[in-house]
Structure formats: C-alpha cells, structure tokens
Structure 1
Amino acid sequence: MFELDPGEDLTLIVDVVQRFSTDILSQQYRDFEANEAIPEAVLNSYSALGLSAMELPESLGGAGLGSRAKCTILEELGYGDPGATLALDGIGPALYALAELGGDSAVERIILPRLSDPSARIALIWDDGDARKKDSLCRADNRYSGTVPWLPCADADLLVILDKQGASLIESGFTFSPLRGSGLRAAGAAELVLDQAAIIERWDEPAGAARALAKWQLYIAALLVGVSRVAAETSREYAMERVAFGKPIAHHQALAFLITDMHTAVDSSRLLVQDAACRADAGQPFVEAAATAFVEASENALFVTPNALQIFGGQGFMQDLPLEKYMREARTLSLLAGGIDRAKEIAGQALCRIEGTVELSALALSR
C-alpha cells in the first residue's frame, strides 16, 4: 500500500516552511529578481530554520530526516520562489557530491564549517565529458580549464565538478562574470571561466557519482513540482473568478479539462519524486527512479506553466503577475543537474536492462 503521511515531525516543519515561503518568498520575489540577490535579513531568517542540515546524519549534527523530507521542503520553497531557494541554500546539492564521494570526512571538513554562514556558497557543476561542445571543460594534469556559459549563482567559495566517474574540488583559479539570466534571477547568474584551476581533492567512484547526480536531480525535480503547483493553483483560482458567457471560464469544458490535466501533472510529478526519495532513504537503488522523476517533473512543468499563463491571456505576460516568471523558472530549472536529455538517457538505459516485470513503487517499503 502507498503511505504518503509525512508524520507529525515533518508536518510541523512543513508548516513553518510554508509560512516562510508564502509570507517572505512569494511576497518579495520581484525585489529578489531586480536585485539578483537575497537581503541579509532573509538569509538570516532562512538560516535560523536549520534546513541546511536536515539531511545530515545525527552523528554529524544534522537532523537525519533524509531525502523524502528534503524533497517535501523543497517543493514548498519552490512554490514561493525557486531562484531564491537556490540562493538561500548556499551549500545546496553540492552536499550530495561531497557526501556520496568524500564521505563523512569530506562533510566534516568542507560542509560543517560553512553551515553557520548564511553567505557561504559551494557551486555544483556537471561535466558531461563531451569535448565536442564549444563550451566544455577539460581535466588534465590534475587541473581544470574551460568555460561554463551559465550558472545560477553570482559567486562561490568552492566549486565541486561532478562527472560520470567522480568529483573534483576546486578553491581557486576560476572567475565569475555576471550575466542577466532569464530565469532563477534571484539566485544571480554568471559565466564561469576556469584557467588551469588546481584540483585540491579528487574522488573517483562511478556508483557514488551516479547517486550524487540522482540526488541533485531530485533536488531540482522537487523545486519543479513546487513551481508547477503554484502555477496550476494560481491559474485555477483565476479561472474560477473570471466569468464569460454567464459562468466562470473554469466551467467551460475545454478549460476544465486543461485545468484537470495540469493538476494531474503536478500530482504525478510529486509521486515520482517521493517514490525515488523513499528508495534513497530505504537504501534501495534509486538512480533510475530519480532520473525518471526529473524527466516527469521537467516535462510536466513545461506543460503546466505555459498553460497557466495562457489561461490568464495576454495579461499573463505582464510582470504585474507571476505567471511569466513561473514559465521562465520551469524552463531554466529543467537545464540543471545534467538536463532532461541526461536524465532520459539514464532512465532509458535502465528500462532496456530490465527483464521481466517493472517494480512500480518503493513507497510501501519506506516506513
């Protein structure tokens, strides 16, 4: 049986995060975008919630709540402002690469000293190893060179470059050049140039790298669920209020079907994210499930957010309303963590290897 009850502890945390998301992130998103940064007061308020350590084991001073709890919280933050969420969570998914490949030692040395600093930032970068690309990274002689055309951050203290074989840690030899991003503007945006940047630590373990990428995909997928949800709910409320031909436009069959499809898409994305997170928490294989969840969340967000804007008509494109922002955020988020194509490749290869029946869910085993 499916068991989706978050439990009392997580419910209390979600309530607090919902208030933070709706009272602060949702109210100030245009200011965040205009400044391409988060005010210090908001950074401190987020830091006081203690969410950065929620996935760390209790032995390292964390809450030990796991991936499912993190995804649930990220959905709520994504509902408010995913760009601001990336800026607030300065360590972010870099934690996964360091924890999966460097172990507790790397977490203790690199992560823990920075948790108490709201302004600390570690940028996680995916290196697909494709040298044919015009803008690609090259690792040779224990150094990295190359250009990353866009990152959703204006600066970083450290870089963690994740590839199929492992991860590299870099602390110098790189520069950020500010850009005007089209999405996730609250997080800032920059072009990253590495010039013979020395690798101060290197961890090689393909299985660990795959798990780190999978958790990164879940991180982004949860934000996509949040963006999709707020877009679907906002457009539905408008469709229930606007009257045409004597009744709310939501009561006209064509639009009613579309609204239903949008909410179904949000729910299906959430279920796949929760399922993959439950697999991770239960110690089961979850790499393929995470890739599938990322693809579903990305493609559903790219369906929901433009249609939410269309329900509003021409005014949906105006910055007086958040609909155009939801569409930009969804498109930009889907480029992260290796993008949709990488996730499809992982999920497709897994399906081709299966002989016999396909297991549908790990949710029943999560409690």
Structure 2
Amino acid sequence: MPATRHLPTPEAEDLLALTREIAAKELTPRAADAERTATFPREVFTTLGRAGLLTLPYPEEFGGGAQPYDIYLQALEEIGTAWASVGVGVSVHSLSCFPLFSYGTDEQRARWLPDLLSGERLGAYCLSEAHAGSDPAAMRARAVRDGDSYVLNGAKAWTTHGGEADFYTVMARTSDDGGRGISCFHVPAGTPGLEFDRPEEKMGLTGSTTATVRLVDARVPADHLIGAEGQGLSIALAGLDAGRLGIAAVATGLAQCALDASVAYAREREAFGRAIIEHQGLAFVLADMAAAVESSRATYLAAARLKDAGRPYGREAAIAKLVATDNAMKVTTDAVQVFGGAGYTRDFPVERYMREAKVMQIFEGTNQIQRLVISRRL
C-alpha cells in the first residue's frame, strides 16, 4: 500500500503521484528480470530524466526541479520501492552533480549543468579506492598539472555506473598534504585513458553496474577542476551528507516494498484454518516491520527539513542513514521469515530484497562510520 504522506502543496502531491505512476509502469515490471540477468537499465534513467525526476532538488534555471529536499527524497523513496537499483542510481547521479553545482564557477555550471540535469547524461562519483574505502584521505589516485591540463592516474573502486556513465566526478590527489591535498575533477566519458574493469559480481543490486574506474594518463583541461586545488575532500564530505539521505530514502522504499509483499502474502496464506496474519506471533512481526518503516521515513524527513531550512544536518543525516539501512536489513530479513520456506526461493522477490538491503549498510559510509560521525558530534 502507498506510504501515508503529508505533503505541503498540490504540486508536491501531483509530483509524488507522477512518480508512483512512472514507477508502476516503467520500473516494477522490469526489475526482477533485469536483476536476474544483471542488465543495466540505461534507458530507464533517460525516461526519469525526461519526466523531471532525475534531479529534482536542483534549480530550474539549470533544468532541475527546484524541489525541497524532503519532497525529492519522498519521490526517491517511491522509486526505491519499485526498484532499488534505480533508486540508488538516481541518488548517485544527484551526488555526482553536487560538486559542480555547489563549487563550480558560473561558467562551468552554465556549460555542463543543463545537460547533466536533463537526464540525457548520467553521472558517476569516484571517491573510494580499494585500500581507502572509509578513509578517503588515504587515497592515492593523483592529478598532476601539466601546462593547461591535469594528467590523472590511479584507480577508483566500487564506482556505481562505472563504464555506463557519461561523466565522472573524480577525487584525486594534487599534493601530499593529507586530506588537504585532494582535488575534484569533472571527467567526461570518452576521455583517453579513462578505463573500466569488468563489473563486480555482487550479492544484490545486480541491475546497478559497479566497476573499478582506472585512470591511465587521463588528460583533462585545467578548467575541469571543480573548486580550488586541495578542496576536494571537503567537497566530497559535504556531498556525502546529502548522499546519505538519498540512500536512507531508497532503503526506506525497499523496506516498504518488503512490508507490502509480506502483508499481502500473510493475508492469503493459511495455516491452521485461518490466514497467517491472524496469528498473533506473525502479526506482531508485521507490526514491528511497519514500525521500522515508519521510523525510517520520519528520521530521513527530519534531517531533510533541517537541510531545507539551511541548518546543519550532518549528524542527523548520519542517523537517518544508520537507522534506515539497519531497519531495511531487519525488515527484509523478517520478510523472508514471513514467507517461510517460500521466501528462501527465487519464486518470490523477498530473497532479492534481503540481498539488496545488505549493501545499504556499507556504501555512502559504513554504518560503523555513521556511528563514528554521530558520536563525535555528541
């Protein structure tokens, strides 16, 4: 059943209705097969972009939707309910546009943002490295100034849309000054020296391509530097606060989908002469699942509204990511239990939901890192 929402305007209600309609027609019917075959649905992102759903929180002057973050996240949750891989992809694309929008020059924004926000170009975000996942300040990828260009070398691991994206937001070291020696670059697909490993064979989210991006003497013009030299890590960390809210919304959508499937099954499946939802032991499991979904939604919306008000929200974003992804793991695991033996087979989607939930506790900063962020701000 659709989530109960209190939306501020008729425009927001129409937007969420449109999102649900597109999700039902374009996403849900294709998700299971694409996940089974590990097929990346590039055309789906074009459809979402042309409908204005790919970059809702950005200004209209650049082709965005000019929506408050809490409305954008609720639309993202609806996408995640229909297909988690696509929800993650939308969140990553929005994150990959953040440095250019927030730190780019007026000329850079005018040159690149309209195409990036139209849905015609899909983005990827290159921060992590194999040895520096939770510690980005330890990255080794390097950018060296050479005349009017930078030459980039290194490898960026776990890149969502690696090999599929049209542009890559790349963090690379421009000096050896620790975290203050990292800079941010806009690297178009097709740049000579931009190479990609074979996609990772993952437990879940197989419809979302993840690959290592390799930079082998990849040369980009100097005006592709975003922000100042040495500003890259602060740009990356600022973007991750918003990115964590995106993942929290997608995780909430995935949990909602698992809850919906569980309730529908429990109404139909009978044991001892009555529907299993009428047995208190199982009904209480479903009640806990519903409470977890609602608390996840409330937590990410509280953080988003702080962001919309221009107030600090980093701690609240970490809490939202922690709560929503841990809850998604619990809810999807309980969904398999509700289905019993059938839930452990691929005849029903809940086993896929459980596999998809696991990585949400890992990316955009592991939940152990979220606890570190939260505790440091107490």
Q: Which residue among 177, 184, 206 is the counterpart of 1:168?
A: 184
The superposition leaves residues 277-319 of structure 1 with CA deviations (integer Å, 9 ceiling, x where unpaired) of 1111111111111111001111111111111012111221322
Q: Is the 8 A contact 1:128 1:338 kept in 2?
A: no
Partner deviation per Cα, 1:23-66 (whole Å, 9 max, x = no partner): 221111123222512163x4443233112342112343433112
Instruction: Find the counterpart in structure 2 of residue 37 from structure 1.
Output: 40
- State the AA in 2 paired with 1:158: F
- Between 1:93-102 and 1:287-296, the stretch displaced more is 93-102
Q: Which amino acid aligns with 1:99?
A: F
Q: Residue 62 of structure 1 corresponds to which residue in structure 2?
A: 64
Please name the residue that 1:147 is paired with. 155
* Compared CA separation, residues 210 and 43, structure 1 to 2 (3 A): closer
User: Aligned ranges for residues 286-325 of structure 1 at < 5 Å?
Assistant: 286-325=313-352
Tell me by how many angstroms 1:14 deviates: 0.5
- Partner of 2:310, secondary structure, is coil
User: After the TM superposition, which of the residue ranges 214-223 and 59-68 deviates more from structure 2?
Assistant: 59-68
Match of 1:23 among 14, 22, 25: 25
Instruction: Report the CA distance between 1:207 and its aligned residue.
Output: 5.6
TM-score by length of 1: 0.84
Q: How does 1:3-18 map to 2 (within 5 A)?
A: 4-18=6-20
1:345, distance to aligned residue in structure 2 (A)? 1.7
Aligned-CA RMSD value: 3.0
Match for residue 189 of structure 1?
210
- Which amino acid in structure 2 is aligned with residue 98 of structure 1? L
Q: Match for 1:175: what amino acid? A: E
**What secondary structure is seen at the aligned counterpart in 2 of 1:193?**
strand
1:17–1:73 CA contact under 8 A, matched in 2: yes
The residue that corresponds to 1:201 in the other structure is 225
Q: What are the within-5 Å matches in structure 2 for residues 1-367 of structure 1?
A: 4-33=6-35, 34-38=37-41, 40=43, 42-87=44-89, 91-102=93-104, 105-118=107-120, 120-127=121-128, 137-140=139-142, 142=144, 145-155=153-163, 156-161=165-170, 168-171=184-187, 172=191, 173-179=193-199, 180-197=201-218, 200-203=224-227, 204=231, 208-351=235-378
CA contact 1:98–1:107 (8 Å) conserved in 2: yes
Q: TM-score, normalised by structure 2?
A: 0.82
1:161-184 alpha-carbon deviations (Å, 9 max, x no partner) = 359667511524332123233222
Q: What does residue 356 of structure 1 align with? A: none
Alpha-carbon distance in 2 for matches of 1:153, 1:132: 17
Aligned with 2:185: secondary structure?
strand
CA–CA separation in structure 2 for the residues paired with 1:90 and 1:297: 17
List gaps (5 residues or longer) in structure 2.
Answer: 145-150, 173-178
Aligned-partner Cα distance in 2 for 1:35–1:132:
24
Distance 1:103 1:7, change over 3 A: farther
CA 1:342–1:125 in 2, change beyond 3 Å: closer, same or farther? farther
Query: What SS does structure 2 have at the residue aligned with 1:229?
Result: helix
Would the aligned equivalents of 1:83 and 1:184 in 2 still touch at CA under 8 Å?
yes
Report if the CA contact (8 A) 2:300-2:321 is conserved: yes
Question: Structure 1 residues 126 and 334, CA, compared in 2 at 3 Å: closer, same or farther?
Answer: farther
**Would the aligned equivalents of 1:168 and 1:202 in 2 still touch at CA under 8 Å?**
yes
Deviations 1:341-365 (A, max 9, x none): 22222112112xxxxxxxxxxxxxx
* Cα separation, 2, equivalents of 1:256 and 1:151: 40
* CA shift in 2, pair 1:220/1:63, >3 Å: same
What is the distance in 2 between the residues matched to 1:339 and 1:133? 7
What corresponds to 1:358 in structure 2?
A: none
Distance 1:72 1:104, change over 3 A: farther
Which has the larger displacement, 136-145 or 20-29? 136-145
Alpha carbons of structure 1 residues 151 and 60: separation in structure 2 relative to 1, 3 Å: closer
Deviation at 1:262, TM superposition (A): 0.9
Pairwise CA distance, 1:83: 0.8
Q: Tell whether the 8 Å contact from 1:218 to 1:277 is kept in structure 2 after alignment.
A: yes
Cα gap change, 1:141/1:335 in structure 2, threshold over 3 Å: closer, same or farther? same
Query: Quick check: 1:122–1:157 contact (8 Å CA) kept in 2?
Result: yes
Per-residue deviation, residues 97-133 of structure 1 (Å, max 9, x unmatched): 3223336554333321233353x22211334896599
Q: Distance in 2 between matches of 1:295 and 1:139?
A: 29
Question: Any conservation in 2 of the 1:83–1:187 contact (CA below 8 Å)?
Answer: yes
Q: 1:110 to 1:339 in 2, by over 3 A?
A: farther
Q: Which amino acid aligns with 1:37?
A: F
Query: What CA distance in whole angstroms lies between the structure 2 residues aligned with 1:235 and 1:134?
Result: 38
- 1:20/1:131 Cα in 2 relative to 1: closer, same or farther (>3 Å)? closer
**Structure 2 vs 1, CA of residues 337 and 239 (structure 1 numbering), >3 Å: closer, same or farther?**
same
